A and B are shown apart, each in its own frame.
Chain A
Amino acid sequence: MKKSKIEYHNRLIFLTFVLIFTAGAVGLTTVWMRHLIAEAASETRQMETRLAEVDRSLARINSEIATGLNPSFLQYQMERFDLDLRRPEEEQIVRLRTPPTPDSLAGGDSPGSRSSSGARGYRQDFARNHP
Chain B
Amino acid sequence: MTPAFASSFRLGLVFLVFVAGFAGIGARLYYLQVVASEPLARIAESNRKQVIVQKAKRGNIVDRRGNLLAMDRTFIELGVDPQVIRAEDREKWPELAAMIDLPLTELEEKMKTRTAAGGSDFADDVRLVRWRKLHDGLDEPTYERIRELGIRGIYGNRTFRRVYPSGELAAHVVGYANREGRGVIGVEHAMDFYLRGEDGWMESERDGRRRELMQFRSREVAATDGLSIELTLDSMVQHVVEQELRRIVDEFSPRGATVVVSEPGTGNILGMANVPTFDLNRYHVADIAHQRNLAVTDLLEPGSTFKVVPLAAALEEGIIAEDRVFDCSASVVEYRGRRLRLPRDHRDFGELSVEDIVRQSSNRGVAYMGLLLGERRLHRYASDFGFGRTTGFPLIGERRGVLHPVRDWDGLTITRMPMGHAVSATPLQIHFAMGALANGGVLMEPRIIRRAFGEGDETVFSLPPQARRRVVSRQTAERVSAMLVLAAAPGGTAPEARIPGYEVAGKTGTTQKIVDGRYSNRHHVASFSGYFPASDPKVVITVIVDEPRSAGPSYGGVVAAPSFRRIGVELIPYLGIEPTRPARELAQRGGYR
Contacts and interface: CB of A to CB of B under 8 A. Distances in A.
A6 B236 contact: no
Contact of B72 (A13, A59, A112): A59
Interface in A9-42: 9-10, 13, 34, 37-38, 40-42
A97 B254 CA distance: 44
A23 B444 CA distance: 80
B235 A41 contact: no
Interface in B452-495: 464-467, 474, 478, 482, 485
B429 to A, nearest CB: 17
B11 interface: yes
Nearest to A93: B573
Contacts of A100: none
A87 B440 contact: no
Contacts of A122: 478, 535-536
B95 interface: no
B570 A109 contact: no
A95 B140 contact: no
B586 interface: yes
A13 B10 CA distance: 12
B6 interface: yes
B212 A90 contact: no
A111 B464 contact: yes
Given A66-B165, A72-B166, A89-B592, A114 B67 contact: no
B4 A111 contact: no
A72 B6 contact: no
A40 B264 CA distance: 60
Interface stretch (B30-38, B539-547, B574-582): B574-582
Contacts of A45: 212, 214
A96 to B, nearest CB: 10
Interface string B263-279: 01111000000000000
A112 to B, nearest CB: 4
B166 A42 contact: no
B239 A67 contact: no
B509 interface: no
Contacts of B478: 122, 125-126
Contacts of A57: 140
Contacts of B440: 112-114, 118
Interface string B206-246: 00000011110100000000000000000110010000000
Main DSSP-derived SS at the A contact region? helix
Contacts of A9: 6, 11
B503 interface: yes
A60 interface: yes
Interface in A43-98: 44-45, 56-57, 59-60, 62-63, 65-67, 69-72, 87-91, 93, 95
Contact of B236 (A67, A71, A129, A130): A71
B265 A112 contact: yes
Interface in B422-473: 439-440, 442, 444, 464-467
Contacts of A93: 573
A110 B140 contact: no
Contact of A44 (B3, B214, B572): B214
Contacts of A95: 576, 578
Contact of A67 (B165, B213, B570): B165
Contact of B536 (A37, A41, A44, A123): A123
Given A38-B214, A41-B213, A66-B71, 20 more contacts: A9-B11, A10-B4, A44-B214, A45-B214, A57-B140, A59-B71, A59-B73, A67-B166, A70-B235, A71-B236, A87-B570, A89-B591, A90-B592, A91-B586, A111-B266, A112-B440, A118-B440, A123-B535, A126-B534, A130-B482
Interface of A: 3, 6-7, 9-10, 13, 34, 37-38, 40-42, 44-45, 56-57, 59-60, 62-63, 65-67, 69-72, 87-91, 93, 95, 109-114, 118-120, 122-123, 125-127, 129-130
16 contacts: A6-B3, A6-B5, A10-B4, A56-B73, A59-B73, A59-B74, A60-B140, A63-B73, A67-B166, A90-B501, A90-B579, A93-B573, A95-B576, A110-B266, A112-B442, A122-B535
Return the 8 tightest CB-CB contacts between A and B, nearest first: A113-B265, A41-B214, A66-B165, A112-B467, A71-B239, A66-B68, A112-B442, A123-B535
